[in-house]
Amino acid sequence: MTVQDIPLNDGTTIPQLGFGVFQIDPAETQAAVEKALEVGYRHLDTAKIYRNEGGVGAALAASGLDRDDVFVTTKLWNSNQGYDSTLAAFDASMDRLGLEVLDLYLIHWPTPEKDLFVDTWKAFEKLKADGRVRSIGVSNFRVQDLQRLLDEGLTVPSVNQIELHPALTQDALRAFHAEHDIATEAWSPLAQGAVLDEQAVLDAADAHDATPGQVVLAWHLAQGNIVFPKSVTPERIESNFGATDVSLSDDEIAAISSINRDERVGPDPSTLN
C-alpha cells in the first residue's frame, strides 16, 4: 500500500489518501484517529466546526509520530471570516490541535452573502508569510469565487476542497483547477455511502476482488483527486486504506464516471451563508 504524495503549487506535497473526521463524535475522535494512524494514514482532515480538533491533536500526541510525518488540515468556520477574526480563530484551532505549524488551512465556505472571503484570504496570506501554515487553500469555492481571488491578484489557492464523487463529478471545476494549478480535494468521496451499490462499482469490485468503497476511492485516486474518507468502523478504516492497491481500467473509470447525475449529498455553496 503506497500513498502518493501530490505536489502543490507552492512547492509542498500532500498525501493523496487521508482520513476525514466530519461527524465523528468529539469523544470518539481520538480512538478513530489513533486507529487510522496505526493503519498507516498520514493525512488528517478536520475543521473547527467539527468540534473534534482536540481529539485529532490528542491522537497525534499519543501516536509518538514525528510532527513532520503527518499532514494536518483544519478549516476556518464561516462566523470567523474577516481579517482579524481569522487570525484569532487560527490561534484557537492551533491551541486545540496542540500544534505549532499547520500543514494546510482552508476557508471552509465562500458564504457569498457575507462577502468577506477576500479579507479572510489576506489573513491566510499573512499566516503563510509568518510561517504558521505551510499551505493555504479554500473549500467549496465555485469558479466565480476562485476567479475573484485571481482578479484581485492574490495568492492562487493550493487546493479547493469540494464535494466530488461518482454522482457529482464536477467536471467544470476540475478543469478550472487544472488550468490554474489548484489541486482538487474531494469531500464525501463515497457520497456518504450513496454510490456504493451502483452497478458499475459492484462490477469493478467483483473484477478486482475489492470492496465497493475501495473501488470508488481508487476511481478518485486514478484521476488525481485527494481524498480522506471518514469512518468510525475499524474494518472500514483499514479496508479504505487498501484502495491504493486497486488499479482500475480506463473502461471501469469511464463507467463509474457515467454514474454522474450532478447530485449533492451536502449543501450548495451558492446558498450556504
Per the DSSP assignment, residues forming a β-bridge with 98 are none
Residue 80 and residue 41: Cα distance in Å, rounded? 30
Q: Is 228 in the site for ligand NDP (CB under 6 A)?
A: yes
If the CB atoms of residues 155 and 160 are measured against ligand NDP, the closer one turns out to be 160
Q: Is 232 in the site for ligand NDP (CB under 6 A)?
A: yes
Q: Is 52 in the site for ligand NDP (CB under 6 A)?
A: no
Helix (H) or strand (E) holding 161: strand 159-163
Residue 147 and residue 180: Cα distance in Å, rounded? 10
Q: Which stretch binds ligand NDP (CB under 6 A): 4-12, 57-65, 226-234, 253-261?
A: 226-234
Residues 126-185 that bind ligand NDP (CB under 6 A): 139-140, 161
- DSSP letter (8 states) at residue 168: B
If the CB atoms of residues 128 and 269 are measured against ligand NDP, the closer one turns out to be 269
For ligand NDP, which residue of 192, 223, 257, 260 counts as binding (CB under 6 A)?
192
Spatial CA neighbour of 121 closest among 97, 98, 145: 145
Residue 105: active-site member = no
Burial of 50 (0-12, 13-18, 19+ CB in 10 A): buried
Q: Is 229 in the site for ligand NDP (CB under 6 A)?
A: yes
Q: Is 266 in the site for ligand NDP (CB under 6 A)?
A: yes
Q: Is 76 in the site for ligand NDP (CB under 6 A)?
A: no
User: What percent of the residues of the chain are helix, what percent strand, and what percent coil, each to the nearest 5?
Assistant: 45, 15, 40
Least distance to ligand NDP, CB of residue 109, Å? 7
The residue count for binding ligand NDP (CB under 6 A) is: 29
Q: Is 51 in the site for ligand NDP (CB under 6 A)?
A: no
Least distance to ligand NDP, CB of residue 38, Å? 16
For ligand NDP, which residue of 22, 83, 122, 203 counts as binding (CB under 6 A)?
22
Spatial CA neighbour of 121 closest among 136, 111, 133: 136
C-beta contacts of 179-182 below 8 A and 24+ residues apart: 180/146, 180/150, 180/156, 181/9, 181/156, 182/9, 182/137, 182/146, 182/156, 182/157, 182/158
Residues labelled as active-site residues: 50
Binding residues for ligand NDP, per CB under 6 A?
A: 20-23, 45, 108, 139-140, 161, 187-193, 196, 211, 213, 228-233, 236, 239-240, 266
